């Protein structure tokens, strides 16, 4: 489903990723582990077509990816959900409106949009928070809303950058349970973290990133 072939990207002298090679199969839950600055976010942003590699190739569904055509980027991003360390919810919009945003951008009709948003909110236990604003939610609820927003367009892969960041222990357990559930339903997940322990028994495979280089051993 996703393949990196000798991918290199340098965003500052000595900073970036070098000769990255890996493949992720459909339905896998892969953990990308490394310290801050190792290049985890660079890999996720490259998949999301926010960055163009200096060299090498990225294949998604056996197609070489390029980010020089806005139409191609928009089409691909509808197939990829992404969650950031911060929830990044729009403060002046309700939770319903935040989750609905990707569907609005994709041009969904109002009725279908409402059905999909209500379904996503129910799956994450946020149906009673639909008309609340982000500031009225706990950090854990905000993170769940961010994941619901990423999944509402039914992407084929979820990119999760430190999905447990800025949430307490109980909320972390809930987030992990939701990630495990959606993975069991067939969602491919690539999660980046610097602390792999919480994912034991959930992730299928771990890739270790250090100083811009990748390996399958810590």
User: What pLDDT, in 10s, does the model give residues 22-69?
Assistant: 999 999 999 999 999 899 999 999 999 888 888 999 988 876 666 555
Please tell me the CATH superfamily of domain 1-79+155-218, with its number: P-loop containing nucleotide triphosphate hydrolases (3.40.50.300)
In terms of average pLDDT, the best of 69-78, 140-149, 207-216 is 140-149
User: What pLDDT, in 10s, does the model give residues 96-128?
Assistant: 999 999 999 889 999 999 999 999 999 999 999
The secondary element (H helix, E strand) that includes residue 141 is: helix 139-151
Instruction: For strands 29-33 and 15-24, give the pairing.
Output: unpaired
Q: Which residue has the higher pLDDT, 12 or 178?
A: 178
Structure tokens at 128: 């009673």
Sign of CA dihedral 198, 199, 200, 201: positive
Q: Which residue has the higher pLDDT, 75 or 123?
A: 123
What distance in Å separates the CA atoms of residue 147 and residue 141, rounded to the nearest whole number?
Answer: 10
pLDDT at residue 13, as a whole number: 76
What distance in Å separates the CA atoms of residue 4 and residue 56, rounded to the nearest whole number?
Answer: 8
Average pLDDT, the chain: 91
Could you tell me the residue ranges of all domains in the chain? 1-79+155-218, 88-154
Report the first-to-last Cα separation within the chain, whole angstroms: 24
pLDDT at residue 194, as a whole number: 93
pLDDT at residue 37, as a whole number: 87
Instruction: For strands 157-161 and 80-83, give the pairing.
Output: parallel
What distance in Å separates the CA atoms of residue 164 and residue 143, rounded to the nearest whole number?
Answer: 8
pLDDT at residue 67, as a whole number: 56
Percentage of the chain beyond pLDDT 70 is 95
Structure tokens at 32: 């990308």
């Amino acid at each position: 489903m996703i393949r990196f072939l000798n991918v290199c990207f340098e965003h500052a002298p000595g900073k970036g990723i070098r000769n990255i090679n890996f493949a992720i199969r459909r339905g896998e839950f892969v953990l990308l582990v490394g310290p801050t600055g190792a290049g985890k976010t660079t890999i996720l942003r490259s998949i999301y077509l926010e960055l163009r590699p200096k060299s090498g190739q990225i294949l998604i569904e056996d197609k070489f990816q390029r980010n020089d055509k806005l139409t191609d980027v928009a089409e691909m991003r509808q197939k990829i959900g992404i969650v950031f360390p911060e929830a990044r919810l729009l403060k002046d919009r309700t939770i319903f409106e935040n989750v609905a945003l990707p569907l609005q951008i994709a041009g969904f009709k109002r009725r279908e949009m409402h059905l999909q948003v209500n379904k996503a909110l129910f799956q994450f236990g946020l149906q009673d928070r639909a008309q609340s604003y982000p500031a009225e939610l706990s950090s854990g609820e905000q993170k769940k809303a961010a994941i619901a927003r990423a999944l509402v367009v039914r992407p084929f892969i979820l990119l999760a950058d430190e999905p447990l960041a800025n949430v307490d222990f109980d909320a972390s357990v809930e987030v992990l349970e939701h990630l495990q559930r959606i993975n069991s339903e067939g969602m491919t997940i690539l999660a980046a973290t610097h602390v792999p322990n919480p994912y034991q028994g959930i992730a299928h495979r771990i890739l270790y990133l250090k100083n811009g280089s990748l390996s399958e051993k810590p």
